[in-house]
Chain A
Amino acid sequence: QKEVEQNSGPLSVPEGAIASLNCTYSDRGSQSFFWYRQYSGKSPELIMSIYSNGDKEDGRFTAQLNKASQYVSLLIRDSQPSDSATYLCAVGRTSYDKVIFGPGTSLSVIP
């Protein structure tokens, strides 16, 4: 079992729709959770970080964390063509400082 898994893509949504990206992780001791966006040929850039159960909203982005189910998700509202990218879920254990990434989900927003 991989440590961090994401829903397989590619995911296509029409412009203005909600895109839903999912991630599960295997280490119950995980304490920090991140969503990165990566455009082709570029470095990953942080979109959201979340550390506690529940929802965290930042503009059009909402991260949801459920530690009991070992599940973290990212919702993108009012999707724009500029949101087309690969989204990477990353999970860390504070005490050991290791950060593991999922394989990524490719998102295409169709105008």
Chain B
Amino acid sequence: NAGVTQTPKFQVLKTGQSMTLQCAQDMNHNSMYWYRQDPGMGLRLIYYSASEGTTDKGEVPNGYNVSRLNKREFSLRLESAAPSQTSVYFCASKRQSYEQYFGPGTRLTVT
């Protein structure tokens, strides 16, 4: 079992560029999440998907879009990157009301 995988691990973008962060899990979990983490801010929820075919906004959705491609995969897209989106992005998955399992993170810098 690979658990939760994320690609890429590092990315540098210029302002205005777009990119998609990929996340996949092999634990047959229904729910998947995207968080961003900035220094001293904890994890802030961007979007989540309670089940295949559904997505909902979290605390900080502006500037992002998501796609729940299938039960395994949940992608996060930045259409026009801004320096304020420089952060570490974590994907997570979980089964029902149990704990979340996190991916290794993507470190994104927007210049």
The residue in chain B whose Cβ has the minimal distance to the Cβ of A34 is: B99
- In the complex, A7 has a CB within 8 A of chain B: no
Are A90 and B100 in touch, CB under 8 angstroms? yes
- In the complex, B26 has a CB within 8 A of chain A: no
By a beta-carbon cutoff of 8 Å, the part of chain B in contact with chain A is 31, 33, 35, 40-45, 48, 50, 56, 58-59, 90, 92, 94, 96-100, 102-105
Are A101 and B97 in touch, CB under 8 angstroms? no
Complex: A90 Cα to B50 Cα, angstroms? 17
Give a binary string over A94-111; 1 marks a CB under 8 Å from any B CB, 0 the rest: 101111111110000000
Number of interface residues of A (CB under 8 A): 24
Provide a sorted-by-A list of 24 A–B residue pairs whose CB atoms are within 8 angstroms. A32-B97, A34-B99, A43-B104, A44-B90, A44-B102, A46-B100, A49-B99, A51-B97, A88-B42, A88-B43, A94-B96, A96-B50, A97-B31, A97-B48, A98-B45, A98-B48, A98-B58, A99-B33, A99-B100, A101-B44, A103-B41, A103-B42, A104-B40, A104-B42
Q: How far is the CB of A111 from chain B (nearest CB, A)?
A: 25
Q: How far is the CB of B90 from chain A (nearest CB, A)?
A: 6
Known: A100-B45, A103-B40. A43 touches B97 (CB 8 A): no
Q: How far is the CB of A101 from chain B (nearest CB, A)?
A: 4
Are A97 and B90 in touch, CB under 8 angstroms? no
- In the complex, A31 has a CB within 8 A of chain B: yes
Complex: A46 Cα to B93 Cα, angstroms? 13
Are B50 and A97 in touch, CB under 8 angstroms? yes
Are B48 and A101 in touch, CB under 8 angstroms? no
Name the A residues within 8 Å of B103 (CB-CB): 43
Known: A44-B43, A103-B41. A98 touches B97 (CB 8 A): no
Q: How far is the CB of A46 from chain B (nearest CB, A)?
A: 5
